Amino acid sequence: MFDKILIANRGEIALRVIRAAREMGIKTVAVHSTADADAMHVRMADEAVCIGPPPSTDSYLSVPAIVAACEISGAQAIHPGYGFLSENANFVQILEDHKITFIGPSAEHIRQMGDKITAKETALKLGIPVVPGSAGGVPDVATARTAAADMGYPVIIKATAGGGGRGMKVATSEKDIETAFRTARSEAKAAFGNDEVYMEKYLQKPRHIEIQVFGDGKGGGVHLGERDCSLQRRHQKVFEEAPGPVITPEERARIGRICANAIAEMGYSGAGTIEFLYEDGEFYFIEMNTRLQVEHPVTEAIFGVDLVREQIRVAEGLPLSFTQSDLVVNGAAIEIRINAERLPNFSPCPGKITQYHVPGGLGVRMDSALYDGYTIPPYYDSLIGKLIVHGRDRAEALSRLQRALGELIVDGVDTTVPLFHALLQDPDILAGTYDIHWLERWLETNMG
Ligand code: ADP
C-alpha cells in the first residue's frame, strides 16, 4: 500500500487526486512552478515542492525535476492527472527505472495508443470497429490523392502523433487535397515534432461517443458505459453527458463488451477511454486515451464510483472493486467546462478573482481550484472549473444545471459561463439532438 503519492499536475485535477488520496489515508505531495506558489493544490496537499519557473516545459513537464521531487519527498507513486506527462511513455519508463510506481498503464500501452496509426491497427486486431481510412501513414500528396479517391471525399488528414484537436485538416474535394495535406503536415511538425499524417473518411454528422474502461492489469477488464462529448469547439469538448442521449442500453452493452474484452486481452492496467465517432447506429474508433479524462465525473455520477480511487487501487496491485454486473446506470449527469476566456472569441482571460461563489445542493459538484482573491496565471490552459450535475433523468439534470449555473459567481475575469446560459435555452440541447458540428454552427449564428 502507498502511504505517500506525488501529483504531477496542477489546478482542479490536482485537487481531485488529493481528495481521493486523503479519503484513502494516503499523504500527498504537490509540485508547483513559481507562478503557482499560491495555488490551491499547493495549499491542500500535505507537502509541496517547487519544481521550476512558470513555463510548463521547465516545471510540470520537467521529468528530472519531478523525479527529484518524488525522491526528496519519499513518495512511492506519481499520479499524472491529465495533460502534461500523463501520456508520456518515456516518463513512465524513467519512473519504472527509478522504482517509482506510475498510477496509470504501462509505458508499452501508452506508446501503443499514443501513435494513432498503431492504435488503429491494434484496435482492428482487437475487434474494435474503426473509421475507414488510409492503411498507415500517408507520405506524399500523390498517395493522399489516391487514398482520397478510394475512400471518397470529404476526407480528414490527421497527425499520427496528434492530440488536443491540432494538426487536423478536412479536404472536401480534390482541389483542396494538396493544401490540406501540406497544412496538416506543417501543423503536425510544429505541434508534435513529427510530421507524419494519416487519412480518414470525414464523417458528416457523427456524435463523439467514448467508452470508459478499466483494466486490472491481470487480464481483467470492465466498461463504465459511454459519455457523449459531441459539443465541441475546434475539436475541443465543452459539454459532456452520460449516458449518451441517443445510445440505447443494447448499444451500450454491445460496444461496452467489445471494449472491455479488448482491454482484458491487452492486459491493460487502470483507467482508459476508447473514443468513437457514432453515426447511423455504427461506432467508429478514432483513438484511445490512456489516462483519466477531464470529463470523468459524469461517469462517476451515474455509476456511483470514484475513478481516481480505483486508479490508485489498481496501481497498488489490488483487484477492481466492482465487477461488470455491479455497474448499473443510475440517472443522468452533465458536465460543463468553464474557462477563463472572453467571448465571443474565446481569448484567454487570466487575472484576479474578486468574488467566487460555488453552487451547491442535491446532485451538484463543482471541481475547481479557484478561491476568492486567487490570481489565475497566464501560463497554463484556461479551464478554471467543471460544474457537474446529476439527476434522476436527463430532464432533471438539465434543470439542475440551469439552477446551479444561476448560483455560480466568478467575478474579476471573463468566463464562458454566458455561453452555457445561452446553450441551456436551446431546443437542440434540451432535446439532445446535436452532432460534433452543431456547436460551431451555433456559434457562427449566435456569436459570429
Ligand atoms: P485529438 O487526439 O486531437 O483530440 P481525435 O482523433 O480524438 O483527435 O479527434 C478529435 C475530434 O475531431 C473528434 O471528436 C471529432 O470531432 C473530430 N474528428 C476526428 N476524426 C474525424 C473524422 N474521421 N470525421 C469527422 N470528424 C472527426
Q: For residue 165, report the distance from its CA to the centre of ligand 1, in Å.
A: 7
Yes or no: is domain 4-102 CATH 3.40.50.20? yes
Average pLDDT over residues 318-328: 97
Euclidean distance between CA atoms 209 and 8, whole angstroms: 28
pLDDT computed for residue 167 by the predictor: 81
pLDDT computed for residue 447 by the predictor: 84
pLDDT digits (tens, 9 = 90+) for 172-186: 999 999 999 999 999
Yes or no: is domain 207-447 CATH 3.30.565.10? no
**8 Å CB contact between 211 and 274:** yes
pLDDT band, residue 166 (cuts 50/70/90): confident
Binding-site residues, ligand 1, Cβ < 6 A:
131, 156, 162-165, 200-203, 206, 208, 232, 235, 275, 277, 286-287, 436
pLDDT digits (tens, 9 = 90+) for 175-223: 999 999 999 999 999 998 899 999 999 999 999 999 999 999 999 999 9
- What distances in angstroms separate CA 304 from CA 20, 26, 226, 349, 433, one per listed residue? 14, 21, 15, 35, 27
> CATH 3.40.50.20 occupies which residues in the chain?
4-102
pLDDT band, residue 402 (cuts 50/70/90): very high
Neighbouring CB atoms inside 10 A of 423's CB total: 20
Classify 132-201 by CATH class: alpha beta
291 is catalytic: yes
Average pLDDT over residues 302-320: 98
pLDDT computed for residue 373 by the predictor: 97
Angle between helices 141-151 and 177-192 (to 10 degrees): 120
Here the cell at position 282 is 455504427
Query: What is the DSSP pairing of strand 282-289 with strand 269-279?
Result: antiparallel
| Residue count of the chain | 448
Here the cell at position 61 is 513537464
Dihedral of the CA atoms 211, 88, 38, 43 (nearest 10)? 60
Nearest atom of ligand 1 to the alpha carbon of 159: 3
pLDDT band, residue 280 (cuts 50/70/90): very high
> CATH 3.30.1490.20 occupies which residues in the chain?
132-201
pLDDT computed for residue 135 by the predictor: 85
Euclidean distance between CA atoms 102 and 94, whole angstroms: 10
pLDDT computed for residue 75 by the predictor: 98
* Percent above pLDDT 90 for the chain: 96
pLDDT for 290 beyond 90: yes
> CATH 3.30.470.20 occupies which residues in the chain?
207-447
Give me the catalytic one of 291, 337, 365, 394. Answer: 291
| CA dihedral (374, 377, 380, 382) positive or negative | positive
* Paired strand residues for 333: 242, 390
Find all residues with CB under 8 Å of 345, minimum gap 6, and list them.
none
